[in-house]
Amino acid sequence: MIRVVFNQKGGVGKSTIVCNLAAIAASQGIRTLVVDLDAQANSTRYLLGSETAPEAGVADFFEETLSYRLRARDPAEFVTPSPFENLAVMAADGRLAELQNKLESKFKIMKLGEALATLSKEFKQIWIDTPPALNFYTLSALIGADRCLIPFDCDEFSRQALYRLMDNVDEIRADHNKKLKVEGIVVNQFNARSNLPTRVVEELIAEKLPVLPQYISSSIKIKESHEACRPLVYLEPGHKVAQEYRALYDLLGKRKR
């Protein structure tokens, strides 16, 4: 299963959702890969720490696609094991921003999907973190993925962005990837004691949008998890938010069946 977590709005928790759900899969003995397509490399730092320097990553993979003289390497050569059992990362770095225009001009939009198809033979689950824009990397991910999760952080700006995003995903499905399915909207950074988030989410549900029934609460523990470079299932598995992520992961598994 290849899942992409995408929202064109920044700050909605894409990297946090990717890394925590992937970590839960890995903790259950499932060979899992995180592909980080964001030049900010938040997922890479979250899972590998700031001192780990991968020998090769996703920028190297894309760079090699630009040279027809090079023999194509196995995509697994661009993967770095994380400190957590069963969990690996195709790491990002700032070169992704520099490569984007070249990749677009050379029509390399299908290359990631081809690599993901190969990697899926080794990894049962692949989770893709994307930049907050509908750009070359995000489109590559949506073309290569089976499912799309959309983080939503419960404000009016996010709601307006959500409508545009749903239209964009529908267009990509129609034009490039018939198998792509929006698995659901993940309500993130939710504060049940505040009227606004509750009202906005209720309105989305009334509009028949695919809001997943398991929400992720706002908590300082997430920031502590980022600082420690340890997803919650490893940092504090009994914490409320860790349990919410586990419930969300279980929900996605049931829906897949």
Least confident of 30-34, 95-99, 123-127, 161-165: 161-165
Q: Where are the beta strands (DSSP E) in 70-124?
A: 80-81, 87-90
Mean pLDDT of 129-143: 96
CATH number, domain of 118, equals 3.40.50.300
The tens digit of pLDDT for each residue in 205-215 reads 999 999 999 99
For residue 198, how many other CB atoms are within 10 A of its CB?
15
Contacts of 203-209 with C-beta under 8 Å, sequence gap 24+, read 203/159, 204/152, 204/159, 204/162, 209/162, 209/166, 209/185
In the predicted structure, residue 138 carries a pLDDT above the cut 90: yes
As a whole number of angstroms, the distance between CA 134 and CA 140 comes to 10
Please return the burial class of 197, using the count of CB atoms within 10 Å of its CB with bins 0-12, 13-18 and 19+. Answer: buried
Separation in Å, CA 193 to CA 171, 198, 199, 206: 37, 8, 11, 20
For residue 175, how many other CB atoms are within 10 A of its CB?
9
As a whole number of angstroms, the distance between CA 160 and CA 143 comes to 24
142 pLDDT tier (thresholds 50, 70, 90): very high
pLDDT of residue 67: 83
pLDDT of residue 70: 64
The tens digit of pLDDT for each residue in 83-128 reads 999 999 999 999 999 999 999 999 999 999 999 999 999 999 999 9
Separation in Å, CA 98 to CA 66, 79, 236: 13, 21, 38
Mean pLDDT of 167-194: 91
Q: Which amino acid is at 231?
A: P
The number of residues in the chain equals 257
Best CA proximity match to 79, nearest among 111, 116, 46: 116
As a whole number of angstroms, the distance between CA 244 and CA 90 comes to 26
Separation in Å, CA 133 to CA 6, 122, 145, 198: 9, 29, 17, 27
**pLDDT, mean over the chain:** 93
151 pLDDT tier (thresholds 50, 70, 90): very high
Domain residues for the domain of 122 are 2-256
The tens digit of pLDDT for each residue in 46-72 reads 999 987 789 999 999 999 999 866 667
How many structural domains are present in the chain? 1
